[in-house]
Amino acid sequence: MKKAILSLSLFTFCCLISVNSISQQYQVKLDSLIEQTKTSNSGDFLNAHLFTYNYAFDKNEVSRKIYDFDQREDTLKYWHQKTIFNTEGLILIDTVIYNPEYGAKKIDHYIYDQQNRLDKKTSKYTYYFVIWNEVSTPAYQVREEYFDDDERITEEKIVTHHFYTDEVLSTGNTIYEYNSKGRILSKITNVNPTGETPYISAKETYEYNSVGLLLEFTFFDFDRESQELYLKSSINKEYSEQGRTETKYDLAGENSGLKLETIVISNFNNNDQALRVETKSKRTGLSSIDTDIDYNITYLTINEFDEHDIQKSKIQFSDWNQNLNAFHHANKDVWYYNENNLLLKREKFFSFDASADVNAIEWILCFEEIKEYDELENVKISYLGYGKNSLGDFEPKKYRTEYFYNDDDQLKLRKHYILANEQGADYDQTGYTEYLYNDNKKEIFSNYFEKVNDKFELRNYVEKEYDHLGFQIGEIIERWDLEQEEFEMYSKFNSTLDYDVSNENLLIVGPDEVLKKVFKSYPFICSEFVSDSYSSGYKLNFYYSDYNGPQTGIEEVEQIPVRVYPNPSSDFVAISYPETWETGETAALYLFDVSGKLVLNKFIHNDEAINIHSLPAGEYILRMIHDDKVANGKIIVD
């Protein structure tokens, strides 16, 4: 928050392109961008937003204007934001004007202590409406937020004024309490309307176990009719020795007395894989005789794994019927593997009015897939079988597909067959699909030929396009129209990426929330999808200019090595923060494989154990972000 440099989304964006990228000397600044959208109601891309940026580096100021294109009124509305920094890159004033016509805006002032820690923040919100004396009244609000040495908010004071007369409509405050480990314990909001009795409008409480995991959360809301607090919602959790949530109890209540209670019970194996997840719920408060209503099982999932932690089966129950004492619907998936963990067969079953006793269920097979492999472990033959109806009639191996590969072990041809008779002895070929690749072994064409009057005719083709880095940026699918007797576009996808500017030499300054708005947390500049029934698209057009001047005194991102132990490991690793980091706060963790694919993303605490048991053996690139600091390292899975 304090260092307004690169946002988390921009960092992720750079890592997706190159896991080895480091802090650069930026020489290009973003001047503006246009956001456009396309829907089924618009034949072309329509302007949605225009973002413009102005930099006054001699004053340490950055201004942004965001224009909204109102298609219905055919007008251009805008709001803008100006941020003023000090010479150390700390935000001093942040001004947002939402609606210049009415003067609606928000102004934030930041005050820091001698150690550059946020000490106080004052905010003024102008021109919005509140309910005062049961009448919608224009108002403005002044807030003061106070922080402790760890930059945790401790108190928020709020004063609401009449917009035109400055009369004080109400005052109030919110008090925050923390434990010795920095976790919030309570949050209480007090309101004092002018001329009325003060009251507590909301209350939150938190309780943790010895290792900091949440045990209980309660939220009380104010009921204006009874003038009392009532329990709006609560959460209770129970954990295993490994810190996994095994029982979760949720309650949602209304001031009318209506309550919905839900319990989720989970059982895990030693590798954090869920074996059984059971959801029970009951609704009370509908009448005076429902106090003895018991919990009903609303959902149930049962998973089974083999000795290699590969899933063997999954059963899902839903829609409990209390009268029948059974579920309305149940589905079952079963997987079979060979000694090399290659999938041999997959089956899908269903059942109506299924008992919670798995062994008593009469399953109906509705789908089956069987695979055979060659000596290189490539699929050479596959079969598909389908159920005819809900009575259990099944056609095994109705469809057969043969696979052929080129010298680079890439699929070049698939031949499609259908069962010729019920005895399953003969198959008739219905068509084939051929594939073509470029020099980088990327698929660029696939053509499907269908058998028509003993001849194979082209009925469907797919064309794919890639950029110079191998990312797919386009795809067109066309299908044969039998009535028109010509090819028509079925779907179209197109996207473009801006690697050079965004990855190597882009200058961005401003608060994190602005950067997240700009980059949308992904690198697509243009994305368009068109089908025979729907058309949509999203496009960002970026405009840059060269810049070689100062950069508001903001330092470049500091990258620090991080300690990982034990390393190598096959089960768990612990990650220690660098000495300069605050150990009581969380950091964002990103783990990439050597190809740059993101395989793990989560928030962690200092010295927290990370489960890597499911990752294939090899080296992984570690990136961690905390405030404006970046730490990196390597994890070896053996």
Q: Are 110 and 95 in contact (CB under 8 A)?
A: no
pLDDT per residue as tens digits for the range 247-273: 999 988 877 677 888 999 999 888 888
Instruction: Return the pLDDT at 382.
Output: 97
Work out the pLDDT band at 78, boundaries 50, 70, 90: low
Work out the pLDDT band at 168, boundaries 50, 70, 90: very high
- What backbone torsions phi and psi does residue 58 show, to the nearest 5 degrees? -70, -25
Sign (positive or negative) of CA dihedral 37, 39, 45, 47:
negative
Q: Which of 222-236, 467-481, 514-528 has the highest mean pLDDT?
A: 222-236
Q: How far is the C-alpha of 150 from the C-alpha of 119, rounded, in Å?
A: 9
Instruction: Return the pLDDT at 171.
Output: 96
Instruction: Return the pLDDT at 42.
Output: 65
Percentage with pLDDT > 70 across the chain: 75
Instruction: Return the pLDDT at 491.
Output: 76
User: Is the predicted pLDDT of residue 525 greater than 50, yes or no?
Assistant: no
pLDDT per residue as tens digits for the range 302-331: 999 998 889 999 999 988 777 777 788 889
Asked which of 97-111, 495-509, 528-542, 622-636 is least confident by mean pLDDT, the reply is 495-509
DSSP state of 569: B
Instruction: Return the pLDDT at 552.
Output: 41
**Residues 6+ positions from 621 with CB-CB distance below 8 Å:** 19, 20, 591, 592, 593, 594, 632, 634
Q: Which of 109-118, 340-349, 477-486, 557-566 has the highest mean pLDDT?
A: 340-349
**Residues 6+ positions from 613 with CB-CB distance below 8 Å:** 271, 272, 309, 570, 571, 572
pLDDT per residue as tens digits for the range 31-56: 777 778 877 666 677 778 787 877 77
Phi-psi label, residue 98: left if phi above 0, alpha if psi -120 to 50, beta otherwise: alpha
Identify which has the larger pLDDT, 552 or 627.
Answer: 627
Neighbours of 158 (CB within 10 A): 20
Q: Which of 36-45, 403-412, 497-506 has the highest mean pLDDT?
A: 403-412
Instruction: Return the pLDDT at 102.
Output: 56
SS3 annotation, 457-483: EEEEEEEEEECCCCCEEEEEEEEEECC
pLDDT per residue as tens digits for the range 2-28: 333 222 222 222 332 222 332 333 345
**Domains in the chain with CATH codes:** 558-637 (2.60.40.3080)
Neighbours of 396 (CB within 10 A): 13
Q: How far is the C-alpha of 621 from the C-alpha of 634, rounded, in Å?
A: 5
State the distance between the two ends of the chain, measured CA to CA, in whole angstroms: 38
User: Is the predicted pLDDT of residue 149 greater than 60, yes or no?
Assistant: yes
What three-state secondary structure class fits 516?
A: helix
Order across the sheet with 629-637: list the strands: 558-561, 629-637, 618-626, 587-593, 598-604
Asked which of 485-494, 498-507, 609-618 is least confident by mean pLDDT, the reply is 498-507
User: Is the predicted pLDDT of residue 216 greater than 50, yes or no?
Assistant: yes
Identify which has the larger pLDDT, 69 or 192.
Answer: 192
pLDDT per residue as tens digits for the range 113-133: 888 889 999 998 886 777 666
Q: How far is the C-alpha of 599 from the C-alpha of 618, rounded, in Å?
A: 12
Instruction: Return the pLDDT at 29.
Output: 64
